[in-house]
């Protein structure tokens, strides 16, 4: 675990884990961090917790390194997961580059409308996500025309393995 101002260097070998908790939100340091992961070229999983922290004055104003990683990272096997409770304020590029979209219940009406749209549930006339405990919606926007409702994570895992 790194708790630093400056972005730590990406690992150059496989099988490592890193958590970086920066002292403050510095767009340039975030950009360096994401570009270093991309330039290392190793298959990686990058989890951006609270993706709204990547927006600097608007959903299109995110670190350049994150934009590039989202657009080019899949080729070397880099997958970016972005999580947030505030969907409407999260980086637009995370939505447009999403390979999977999963939604649990959200509280804010605007965020719920965004998820209904992203999941294409509004096209089915749905006005609410209508989820019970442990349920979630999933869609692969590039291949699915309809989101699928899952009652547990086990249902999804059994489908994809």
pLDDT tens for the chain, residues 1 to 161:
999 999 999 999 999 999 999 998 999 999 999 999 999 999 999 999 988 889 998 778 899 999 999 988 877 889 999 888 888 788 877 777 788 899 998 888 999 999 999 999 999 999 999 999 999 999 998 888 899 999 999 998 888 77
Same domain, 161 and 113: yes
Structural domain including 111 reads: 98-161
For the chain, the domain total comes to 2
| Buried b / exposed e along 109-133 (16+ C-beta atoms within 10 A) | eebbbbbbebbbbeeeeeeebebee
Domain boundary among 81, 97, 113: 97
| For helices 27-40 and 64-72, angle between their N-to-C axes, nearest 10 degrees | 30
Same domain, 35 and 111: no
Predicted local confidence at residue 160, as pLDDT? 74
Same domain, 8 and 37: yes
* Total residue length of the chain: 161
Same domain, 6 and 75: yes
Same domain, 2 and 73: yes
Domain boundary among 97, 115, 150: 97
Rounded Cα distance between 113 and 89, Å, is 13
Predicted local confidence at residue 158, as pLDDT? 86
């Amino acid at each position: 675990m790194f708790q630093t101002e400056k972005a730590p260097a990406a690992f150059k070998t496989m099988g490592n884990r890193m958590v970086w908790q920066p002292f403050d939100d510095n767009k340039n340091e975030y950009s360096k961090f994401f570009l270093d992961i991309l330039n290392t070229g190793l298959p990686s999983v990058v989890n951006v917790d609270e993706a709204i922290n990547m927006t600097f004055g608007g959903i299109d104003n995110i670190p350049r390194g994150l934009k590039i990683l989202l657009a080019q990272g899949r080729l070397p096997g880099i997958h970016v997961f972005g999580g947030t409770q505030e969907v409407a304020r999260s980086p637009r590029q995370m939505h447009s580059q999403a390979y999977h979209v999963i939604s649990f219940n959200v509280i804010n009406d605007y965020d719920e409308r965004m998820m209904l749209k992203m999941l294409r549930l509004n096209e089915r006339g749905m006005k609410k996500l209508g989820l019970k405990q442990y349920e979630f919606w999933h869609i692969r926007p590039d291949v699915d025309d309809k989101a699928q409702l899952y009652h547990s994570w086990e249902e999804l895992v059994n489908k994809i393995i």
